[in-house]
Structure 1
Amino acid sequence: MSVRGIPDTRETVDTDITGTPDPARFAVEWEEWHRDKDARLAAEHGFLAVTGLHWLSEEPQSFPGTPGTWSTGPEGVTVDLDEGTELVVDGTVVRGKHLFGVIPERGGVNAVWNDTVIEVAKRGGHDVVRPRHPDHPLRTAFTGTPAYAPDPRWVVTGRYEAFDEPRPTTVGASVEGLRHVYDAPGRIVFRLDGQELSLTAFNGFTPGTLTVLFTDATSGVTTYAANRQLGVDAPGADGGVVLDFNRATNLPCAYTDFATCPLPPAENRLPVAVEAGERIPRERGPVH
Structure 2
Amino acid sequence: MSTPVIDDTAFLADWRRWREERDRAVAAPDGILPVVSIDYLTAEPVVIDRLPGRWSSQPEGVVVDLAEGERLDVAEADGSGRVVLDRPAPGGSRRIAQEGLTIELVRGGDWDIVRVRDAAAPAVAAFRGTPAYEPDPAWRVVGRWVPGESALTVDTVSDRVSRESVSPGAVEFTLRGRTFRLVALPAHGVPGHVVLLFRDATSGITTYAAQRELLVQLPASGDEVVVDFTRAYNKPCAYSDFALCPLPPAGNVLDIAVEAGERTPYERSR
TM-score normalised by L of structure 2: 0.92
> Structure 2: which 5+ residue stretches go unaligned?
none
C-alpha separation in 2, matches of 1:83 and 1:31: 53
| Alpha-carbon contact 1:188-1:198 (below 8 Å) kept | yes
Q: Could you tell me which amino acid in structure 1 is paired with residue 36 of structure 2?
A: T
Superimposed CA distance per residue, residues 137-196 of structure 1 (whole angstroms, 9 cap, x where no aligned partner): 222100100001112111111111111xx3221132212343232211111111111111
Deviates more, 1:219-228 or 1:43-52: 43-52
Change (3 A) 1:225 1:19: closer
| Alpha-carbon contact 1:172-1:263 (below 8 Å) kept | yes
Corresponding residue number in structure 2 for 1:254 = 238
Corresponding residue number in structure 2 for 1:72 = 57
Corresponding residue number in structure 1 for 2:221 = 237
TM-score normalised by L of structure 1: 0.86
| Alpha-carbon contact 1:77-1:103 (below 8 Å) kept | no
Q: Displacement of 1:44 after TM fit?
A: 2.9
Structure 1 residue 60 corresponds to structure 2 residue 29: no
Q: Displacement of 1:31 after TM fit?
A: 1.0
When the two chains are superposed, the root-mean-square deviation of aligned CA atoms in Å is: 1.9
Change (3 A) 1:242 1:19: closer
C-alpha separation in 1, matches of 2:230 and 2:93: 30
Corresponding residue number in structure 2 for 1:156 = 141
Superimposed CA distance per residue, residues 97-151 of structure 1 (whole angstroms, 9 cap, x where no aligned partner): 3322232111010011111001000112211000011222222100100001112
- Among 166, 170, 178, which residue is 2:161 paired with? 178
C-alpha separation in 1, matches of 2:111 and 2:219: 34
- Among 120, 123, 133, which residue is 2:118 paired with? 133
3-state SS in 2 of match to 1:122: strand
Q: Could you tell me which amino acid in structure 1 is paired with residue 257 of structure 2?
A: A
Q: Could you tell me which amino acid in structure 1 is paired with residue 43 of structure 2?
A: E
C-alpha separation in 2, matches of 1:50 and 1:176: 20
3-state SS in 2 of match to 1:127: strand
3-state SS in 2 of match to 1:35: helix
Question: How many residue pairs were aligned?
Answer: 265
Superimposed CA distance per residue, residues 199-224 of structure 1 (whole angstroms, 9 cap, x where no aligned partner): 00011132221011000111111100
C-alpha separation in 2, matches of 1:58 and 1:74: 9
> Structure 1: which 5+ residue stretches go unaligned?
1-17
Q: Displacement of 1:87 after TM fit?
A: 3.7
Q: Could you tell me which amino acid in structure 1 is paired with residue 110 of structure 2?
A: G
Structure 1 residue 169 corresponds to structure 2 residue 155: no
C-alpha separation in 2, matches of 1:108 and 1:145: 27
